[in-house]
């Protein structure tokens, strides 16, 4: 029974680390920026210096793109608050190892090279 509760908490946490779909490309870039920052600040042992440096570079690219799309300091602060809150909630639910791994995997999967809005398929 204990394993069921752990699995349920993990599933909830992983679902929780998925932000609501970004309404705009700017928000998607801000989410990537703030997520990388939250993981780099709260999960320092995951991947070591090289991993944190890569996340910082990716975060900087996404922040630059978001600013070009009109992001303000208030938008950046809101994204940081949202993503850090999601990470902290997930850490509370399943612990730092699982939470940091889940967030790190989502960031790596999304990356900077993935288009924020996928082009429509031609028929």
pLDDT at 123: 55
pLDDT at 23: 76
0.85 cut: is pTM over it? no
CA–CA–CA angle 60, 20, 112 (5° rounding): 25
**Which residues are CB-contacts of 70 (< 8 A; sequence separation ≥ 6)?**
26
**Which residues are CB-contacts of 27 (< 8 A; sequence separation ≥ 6)?**
75, 79
Convert the pLDDT of each residue in 9-57 to its tens digit. 555 555 544 545 667 899 999 999 999 999 888 886 666 777 788 888 8
């Amino acid at each position: 029974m204990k394993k069921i509760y752990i699995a349920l908490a993990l599933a909830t946490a992983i679902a929780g680390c998925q932000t609501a779909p970004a309404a705009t490309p700017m928000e998607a870039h801000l989410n990537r920026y703030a997520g990388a920052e939250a993981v780099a600040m709260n999960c320092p042992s995951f991947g070591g210096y090289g991993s944190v440096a890569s996340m910082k570079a990716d975060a900087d690219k996404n922040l630059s793109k978001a600013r070009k799309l009109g992001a303000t300091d208030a938008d950046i602060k809101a994204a940081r608050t949202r993503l850090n809150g999601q990470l902290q909630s997930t850490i509370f639910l399943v612990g730092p190892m699982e939470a940091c791994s889940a967030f790190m995997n989502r960031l790596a999967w999304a990356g900077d090279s993935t288009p924020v809005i996928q082009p429509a398929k031609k028929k």
